[in-house]
Amino acid sequence: FRFKDSLAEDLRRADLVISHAGAGSCLETLEKRKPLIVVTNEKLMNNHQLELAKQLHRDGHVLCCNCSTLVETLRSMDLSTLKPFPPGQPEKFALFLDKVLGFQ
């Protein structure tokens, strides 16, 4: 997609998501418990997307490839090996911030 206000309905209907490694795209997909193949763009400078993709792959949450290896990844993928992404815990983060900022 070039631009879409929301991917919520597309994600709800999807059996598999293939996406770039943007944090929002990855986290929204993983929160919906959808299997995800992250396609990295290795030409980006200071590529934080590559770092995120590699970490999510190391943790077993996504499959990771680049444009030239996407077809092979699709042929050889085993989605049963993917681990569910743990739900966020914003209350713990809020408590941490309160402590760091001296509000506790």
Q: What is the dihedral of CA 33, 57, 5, 7, to 10 degrees?
A: -30
Confidence at residue 45, expressed as pLDDT on a 0 to 100 scale = 61
Confidence at residue 104, expressed as pLDDT on a 0 to 100 scale = 67
Give a yes or no: residue 60 inside a domain. yes
Express each pLDDT in 49-93 by its tens digit. 888 999 999 999 999 999 999 999 999 999 999 999 998 888 888
- The Cα 29–Cα 34 span in angstroms is 6
In the predicted model, what is the mean pLDDT of the chain?
A: 90
Which CATH number fits the domain that encloses residue 77?
3.40.50.2000
15-22 own/partner pairs: CB under 8 Å, 24+ apart:
16/79, 18/70, 20/49, 21/49, 21/50, 21/52, 21/53, 21/64, 22/49
Confidence at residue 99, expressed as pLDDT on a 0 to 100 scale = 86
Q: What is the dihedral of CA 88, 4, 7, 91, to 10 degrees?
A: 20
Give the total number of structural domains in the chain: 1
Give a yes or no: residue 1 inside a domain. no
Give a yes or no: residue 34 inside a domain. yes
In terms of average pLDDT, the best of 32-36, 38-42, 49-53, 85-89 is 32-36
